[in-house]
Structure 1
Amino acid sequence: MSFQTYAELWRIPDVRRILVLGLFLRLPMPASAVIVTLHVVGPLDRSYAEAGLVSTVLAIAMAISAPWLGRLLDRLGLRRTLLLPLAVLPIAWSVAPWVGYLPLLALVAVAGLFTVPSFSVVRQVMIRSVGPGKRTAALSADAVMTELCFMTGPLIGVLGASYLGTSWALMLSQWLGIVAAVGLWLLNPAITESESVDPAEATASVPAVAAAIPAAVATADGGAAEPSSRRWRLPTWVSPGVVLLLAGTFAASLILVAEDLGTVAAMRDFDRTTYLGLVMAVWALGSLLGALIYGALNSHPSAAMMLVLLGATTMLAAIAPEPISFAALLLVSGFFCAPTLTAALEAITSRVSSSVRGEVMGWHGSAITLGSAVGAPAAGFAIDMIGWQGGFLLGGGLGLLISTAIWLTTRRISKPYPEASGLQAE
């Protein structure tokens, strides 16, 4: 184990710049989640269920847009892809805080469809900037920064809503992300190893972004459009191994949202809701520490192994008899949260060509979003049926089932992509 790897990563200019820029790109997400809830139940005088519907609409829109925008990244490059979000988001987020509930829903849906693919961009730059031997450490460093965003974002959102009002806080938090996106457009870092040619030259046959959208949708692998008779074939990157790893990502996300709801229910059952924020912080701290240690390891456990550990420790939290032991078990479970997602992403990207990495990372993001969208009602049902323990048992049990399928399958049917592993194609 060597933490010196992180110092070496920080000395790489592109890594340093994209990590800092990524922090500002992502902060609006957790901050706005809190602000939107306060805005809907406060100034708009709606229920918490209606506030939750806004979050659900945004999640669905982002799940739809992630693979599509990822494919545009592969085809058009970073700058031309960012023109779409930079044209739509300033308008949507300047108007949304000042309208009624139904127009807010519509504008949130539009904004979600054109959200800057920050997670995909940051990770692609990280992977491109380091050698294969440091890829896991790079993705772990990104996971640490993501955890910091989700630890500080809600606090920033609450403070902003308290001192500025929810409307101004929502608009300003989203404009922070828009300004960061403009910075990303100006910086224009390369996102693939082979990006030595200007993306505009590589797509000279496409005169404008709007003209490229139908071609991007019709193209399976980021290359030229296929004849109509082959248009509906699966993308070339699709393999049983990649599909199972995406399923593992879905399961990990489902586990996390099940733990989230289960923690709220547990602290209410323990009659210690005043300590809920502290317990959540302990859980996030475990995830942050886990990401740091996982990236510093010389040999990294597989995604299937990490999902097994995440599922098992999640189920273990269900036996806690009181708040202190519950927080301790949650810390242990949190230790495997970020590393599980990192291991799955590293395994996925090592199995595909860099020419389709943006699209694949988009599907990875969609798997996370859909896992949250499915996990929330499923965990809620389990909690209603058997108590707060139901969320942990359901999430952990599904994680163990899916990790077993991955464990038995990925070793036999999927190999790392030659360019990612440094090997020559057979």
Structure 2
Amino acid sequence: MRSYRVVLASADVRNVLLLGALVRIPFFAGAVLLALHVVQTLHGSYVQAGVLSTIATVCIALSGPWRGRLLDRFGLRRTVAPSILVGAVCWSIAPFVDYVPLLIFAAIAGLFDVPIFTVVRQAVIAATTEQNRQPALALESVSVECAFMVGPIVGVAAASIWSTTMVLFFVQMTLVLAGILLWVRNPPLRSAQDADRANAVAVPRRSWFRLEFVALCVGASAAIAVLAGSELTFVSAIREFDAQKWLGVVLAVWGFGSVVGGLTYGALHRKISTYLLLAALGAVTLPMAFAVGPISLAITGLVAGLFCAPTITASIDQMSRVVPEGGRGEAIGWHSAALTLGNGIGSSMAGIAIDAGGFPAGFGAAAALGLGIGLGIPLLLTLHNRRRPAVDKQPSQVGA
């Protein structure tokens, strides 16, 4: 635990991680509450609930690179202030109107979403050195896993006691309050070794938006696609086993494996390639296709979960070494957008595979995606790096 003691000894890192863990719980609760509000209170269809969730998610994804670039150019306070105002106005009205106005307000609020994920990750990177960044990012990734498990449970439980209108209003106002707290605390987004924050300018995108960065985003997107596909396939498998009461337990075991894997990876004293972890994630996902009941599914899920959090942590850590400080806000925004895209791809891919061949096909498709992208990207990068010296030599040869 020495690595974590060193990280948590820093008040800046400790405060940012705590703030990030707390504000992400209402973030994940809000997603499921939107669907419940449409179906239960507005008496809409599940299709309408899905459309609303999709539009809100797409708008949040689109806002990531844009809001991240504003963080690089203008700093936290000037970027977050409009998000606070727009979010407060939209979510003070949206829970009390019909479906179409709710759709419009949710879309506008999504485009001006407080960039919580970007701010927390950028602040963690800024507050750490390259030597202790891995355990700090591992803790950040584990906190996301925990919030992802706790948030929907809290939201559904609250909606079963009070009306979804009031619960949705309260949860979204909590996120607005989180934005205000971020504005007040204003955690540094650049290290002390970087240029003076008041005079710092954004790094040109062309200096870092290259093949290596794009490959990292593709790898992170594939990792989330494997996880999203697996999550949907768990539901199909449990239904096929006629053991619906064990679904929560199996998912919890899978999530516990991710927490253990994330903490173990953070304690290591060496870097592991994102693509190697992605290929390993694909390999350990495959055995779940051969599960014969909820117990074997939980055991194989526990093993598969060990590589979930480490893969995402490694991609963020590797990105922090590829992108200079003046461009990390936008880069993390693109990274977050890639994760959102992967979530949609994974669910769709698994749904098609399950319809074609049942839950074994769903897990098989997710495993093939992880293995294919994890092994394919390093090969493409190697071929590109071999060709580039030859291309670079051509002008000098022509000049000669």
Q: Is the 8 A contact 1:259 1:392 kept in 2?
A: yes
Is 1:337 the equivalent of 2:308?
A: yes
Is 1:16 the equivalent of 2:14?
A: yes
| 1:220-239 deviation per Cα after TM superposition (whole angstroms, max 9, x unaligned) | x645xxxxxxxxxx732122
Q: Match of 1:82? A: 80
Give the alignment of 1:2-401 within 5 angstroms. 3-193=1-191, 197-199=196-198, 222=203, 235-401=206-372
Q: Match of 1:417? A: none
Using the alignment, how far apart are the partners of 1:133 and 1:410 within structure 2?
26
Amino acid at match of 1:129: A
Q: Is the 8 A contact 1:316 1:329 kept in 2?
A: yes
| Aligned-partner SS, 1:256 | helix
Q: Is the 8 A contact 2:285 2:366 kept in 1?
A: yes
Q: Is the 8 A contact 1:120 1:362 kept in 2?
A: yes
Amino acid at match of 1:296: A
| 1:56-78 deviation per Cα after TM superposition (whole angstroms, max 9, x unaligned) | 11111111110000000000011
Shift in CA distance, 135/261, structure 1 to aligned 2, threshold 3 Å: same
Q: Quote the offset at 1:390 in angstroms.
A: 2.2
- Unaligned residue ranges in structure 2 (runs of 5+): 386-400
Amino acid at match of 2:91: W
Using the alignment, how far apart are the partners of 1:116 and 1:195 within structure 2?
25
Using the alignment, how far apart are the partners of 1:383 and 1:101 within structure 2?
32
Q: Is the 8 A contact 1:19 1:142 kept in 2?
A: yes
Q: Match of 2:393? A: none
Using the alignment, how far apart are the partners of 1:62 and 1:82 within structure 2?
14
Q: Is the 8 A contact 2:274 2:314 kept in 1?
A: yes
Q: Is the 8 A contact 1:257 1:375 kept in 2?
A: yes
Q: Is the 8 A contact 2:32 2:152 kept in 1?
A: yes
Shift in CA distance, 196/301, structure 1 to aligned 2, threshold 3 Å: closer
Q: Is the 8 A contact 2:72 2:327 kept in 1?
A: yes
- Unaligned residue ranges in structure 1 (runs of 5+): 204-220, 224-233, 415-426
Shift in CA distance, 311/30, structure 1 to aligned 2, threshold 3 Å: same
Shift in CA distance, 162/15, structure 1 to aligned 2, threshold 3 Å: same
Shift in CA distance, 286/93, structure 1 to aligned 2, threshold 3 Å: same
| Aligned-partner SS, 2:136 | helix
TM-align CA RMSD = 1.7
Q: Quote the offset at 1:197 in angstroms.
A: 3.1
Q: Quote the offset at 1:164 in angstroms.
A: 1.9
Using the alignment, how far apart are the partners of 1:257 and 1:50 within structure 2?
21
Q: Is the 8 A contact 1:27 1:177 kept in 2?
A: no
| 1:180-205 deviation per Cα after TM superposition (whole angstroms, max 9, x unaligned) | 11111011111012566354x557xx
Q: Match of 2:373? A: 402
| 1:142-163 deviation per Cα after TM superposition (whole angstroms, max 9, x unaligned) | 0111111112111210121112
Q: Is the 8 A contact 1:59 1:373 kept in 2?
A: no
Shift in CA distance, 4/263, structure 1 to aligned 2, threshold 3 Å: same
Q: Is the 8 A contact 1:24 1:177 kept in 2?
A: no
Q: Quote the offset at 1:118 in angstroms.
A: 1.0
Identity %: 41
TM-score, scaled to structure 1: 0.87
Q: Match of 2:390? A: none
| 1:315-354 deviation per Cα after TM superposition (whole angstroms, max 9, x unaligned) | 2211111110011111111111111011111112211111
Using the alignment, how far apart are the partners of 2:311 and 2:382 within structure 1?
17
Q: Which moved more, 1:322-331 or 1:400-409?
A: 400-409
Q: Is the 8 A contact 2:83 2:113 kept in 1?
A: yes
Q: Is the 8 A contact 1:303 1:343 kept in 2?
A: yes
Q: Is the 8 A contact 2:257 2:305 kept in 1?
A: yes
| Aligned-partner SS, 2:132 | helix
Using the alignment, how far apart are the partners of 1:64 and 1:50 within structure 2?
21
